[in-house]
Amino acid sequence: RKLKLTGVVMNPSGQLTRIELVGPMNFDQWEACFNVFRTACVMLGLASYAALDAYKDHIKSYACTYSSETWTLLYQADTRARREQAQRIRRNSSKFSASPEGSERKVVDSDGITFDPSMPWEYVFRKLPKDFSFWKKEFESAAILITANINRADFAVTGEVPVAASSAHHIAD
């Protein structure tokens, strides 16, 4: 299941070379990339800055709370959240999308988050940070053990989302 993203870059002699792009090596690189994603989502009308910033602030709070040794684990959890959990939330939100009369309407869920059928990704990015069981399973439990020096930093990292070894190896720099 390792994710591979390849790209083409120009080498010093002016030739195009295929490279494998890796994930960000720290939160600052992640944030630079996420800001591009955020702008694209807003331009396409998928979600608001507020919803996407709530998600970004969630990742930032973990990055600031836990040691830098947990970054790869956090990036792995973030990738799974956006790749897998976001889809589950969007699919589950379909139960909100139609009223008994068959007309679409806005609905407020049990967390107080409004689902608007015209912008389902808005709901997803507001819901993701509040999915406590997901974050506990994918990040918090292992991060606590790593931070307490009970387990090594790589014990819960599967390698499916490799990160840059240095800032020179990431496209954000």
At 119 the three-state DSSP class reads coil
For the segment 72-127, what is each residue's pLDDT rounded down to a tens digit?
999 999 999 999 999 999 988 877 665 555 556 788 887 888 888 888 999 999 99
Q: Which two tokens stand for residue 97?
A: 């999308």
For the segment 135-155, what is each residue's pLDDT rounded down to a tens digit?
999 999 999 998 888 877 777
Stretch among 31-45, 53-67, 90-104 having the lowest mean pLDDT = 90-104
The confidence score (pLDDT) of residue 149 equals 83
The confidence score (pLDDT) of residue 4 equals 57
Confirm if 169 and 26 have CB atoms less than 8 A apart.
no
Overall pTM > 0.85:
no
At 64 the three-state DSSP class reads helix
